[in-house]
Structure 1
Amino acid sequence: MLKRLSLRPELFPVQALFNAIPANGFTEALQAFSQRTGVGYDEVCCEFPGDSEDGSFSGVKFYIFNEEITLSNIDFFKILSIACASQSMTFPDQSEEIKFFLDKIEVNLGIQPN
């Protein structure tokens, strides 16, 4: 497993998801995120409000076993950007595609660039 992130303990479900994404599946996960669709790997997953019958939350929800946390779109994007930077450093050949999807995700989440 590729260790892209190391976050505070209360963010463990988020860390587990980003570290569970296979190296060769990272851009596919970004493509799903750009469509506001969650992903899952073994016991860890994330979802957007339209993914489940209980779409009554806002942001992005992460699960692993019995732990759950919901991040705001802005916090999700900040952590995603860190994971993308790590992936780009490890796999420079993916950098352009990662940037393309990251820009698309930023727009689709309604995040205003600083």
Structure 2
Amino acid sequence: MLTSTETARTATELRASYDLTGLTLDEVATDLHLAPAQVAATLDVTPASDPSDVWLLRDYLDQAVRDAGRTPVPFSTLTRANKLKARMWFSLRRAPRHDFGVA
């Protein structure tokens, strides 16, 4: 369970990562097989956000930023060490990659 400070900081970091990808909410939702409203709520880390969705979005955005040729935003709470701990509590899924290829 995140503190209110960690939740706010995580939401800020997720939003910053999302902005760096250049993707639309619909593109992210399609890639993650989530509803756009669910992605928006997860970006904001609302009380209704599923922790496994938060980790999924974090991993997806981190890779998408790299694939877009940009430098990822460091996550202060959603770290590798904390991900290992989260795996004990949540059923974490592997994040898909967005295809940035030219159509």
Structure 1 and Structure 2 fold alike (TM over 0.5): no
TM-score of the two chains, using structure 1 as the length reference: 0.36
Structure with the bigger RCO (C-alpha within 8 Å, sep 6+) is 2
Q: Which has the higher helix share?
A: 2
TM-score of the two chains, using structure 2 as the length reference: 0.38
